Structure 1
Amino acid sequence: MAQRLFFALPVARTSQLALLKLQSQLAQAGIHGRMIPATNFHLTLAFLGSVTASQKDALLARLADLTVPDLHLELDTLHYWAKPGIVALGARRTPIALGQLATQLQQDAYQHGLHPTRHAFRPHITLFRGASALLPDLAHVPEQPIVMTSHSVELMVSVNGPAGVEYHCLKRWQR
């Protein structure tokens, strides 16, 4: 049976708390939609789509020695994507090492027949789904960047659970 897989940077507990605070501020300011639970916060590097067991085994073999750089990112700008109704916190600047890692993982997926990436890599963490708009007076939010530091990359699986979609780590590569 195939699984929906993606590569992501995990979000440390301190950053999760800052993101939860920002979600609350946005909800109080009038953003309506489904809040993403802190346990589902992540920064997607490469979406792989529906992956069979044999494809997953080959992927893990190819990337057994994946090198993970120290990553430091300042999340400092809100984004709204109308079609999926997503409100996300993104970064104005993508660190070179982060961009290179995302490109490496996306190219591997494409070269091995997994989900092709259609958009340029834009680091972001989704805060709301099903939102109808991003209000113009929220341009100043967040007041301070949320700093995200990571020393690991995770291969994640998306599972439909009783409370909605849940993400679980299948494999972790650490610095």
Structure 2
Amino acid sequence: MKLRLFYALWPAPEVRDALSASARPLLEACRGRRVPKRNYHLTLAFLGRVPEQRLDEFHEAAGQVAVEPFTLRIDRHGHWRGPQVAWLGCSSPPAAATRLADNLRAALEPLGFKPDPRPFRPHLTVLRGCRACDFEGEIAPVEWPVSSFVLACSETLPAGPVYRVVWSPG
């Protein structure tokens, strides 16, 4: 069986609540399908469909990636027309976040992972199917302390996608 997998930063419940509160003005001003708070995450590397029997290889490779603790300051919002998403992000991403994403992607390449050639831009999707977003206001900044990452699985259910953690280092 193949699983749809991605490595991500996974917020603690209190950070998840703060992100939800921060996103509220954006969600109220823009149309689209709201991403449920339980699905909030920040993708480091999207693997796609991976045979379940290869999970140990990925766990071993990712387990070699050190995490230098950092804090993400989620303090801006935006809209991408192509994928039709509204997002929250960082106006000044910490270098440690970029190093983590780059090091993880490099560790996965020998396993056949083809990293996105675009530079890492930390963002958290809060709306999908968002054709336009005219929200010009500010969002309340959220401090997100990061000291680890997870491997998550995306399952499509009749009620919508559900993400669950299938691995975390340590």
* TM-score after normalising by structure 2: 0.91
Give how far 1:50 is off: 1.3
Identify unmatched segments of 5+ residues in structure 1: none
* 1:152 correspondence with 2:152: no
2:137 matched to which residue of 1? Answer: 140
Question: Is the contact between residue 154 and residue 171 of structure 1 (CA under 8 Å) also seen in structure 2?
Answer: yes
- Measured in 1, the distance between the counterparts of 2:154 and 2:114 equals 15
* 1:12 correspondence with 2:12: yes
- Measured in 2, the distance between the counterparts of 1:79 and 1:14 equals 23
Give how far 1:129 is off: 0.4
1:131 matched to which residue of 2? Answer: 130
| Counterpart code for 1:83 | G
The RMSD of aligned alpha carbons is: 1.7
Q: Partner of 1:131: helix, strand, or coil?
A: coil
Question: Is the contact between residue 65 and residue 103 of structure 2 (CA under 8 Å) also seen in structure 1?
Answer: no
Give how far 1:173 is off: 2.1
Deviation by residue 1:93-149 (Cα, 9 ceiling, x = unmatched) = 1211111110011223333212431321000111100111120xx33321x321111
CA separation of 1:158 and 1:115: change in aligned 2, threshold 3 A: farther
- Give 1:98-113 correspondences, 5 Å limit: 98-113=97-112
- Give 1:40-59 correspondences, 5 Å limit: 40-59=39-58
- Measured in 1, the distance between the counterparts of 2:90 and 2:122 equals 6
Identical pairs, percent: 32
Identify unmatched segments of 5+ residues in structure 2: none
Question: Is the contact between residue 49 and residue 115 of structure 1 (CA under 8 Å) also seen in structure 2?
Answer: no
Q: Partner of 2:17: helix, strand, or coil?
A: helix
| Matched residue count | 170
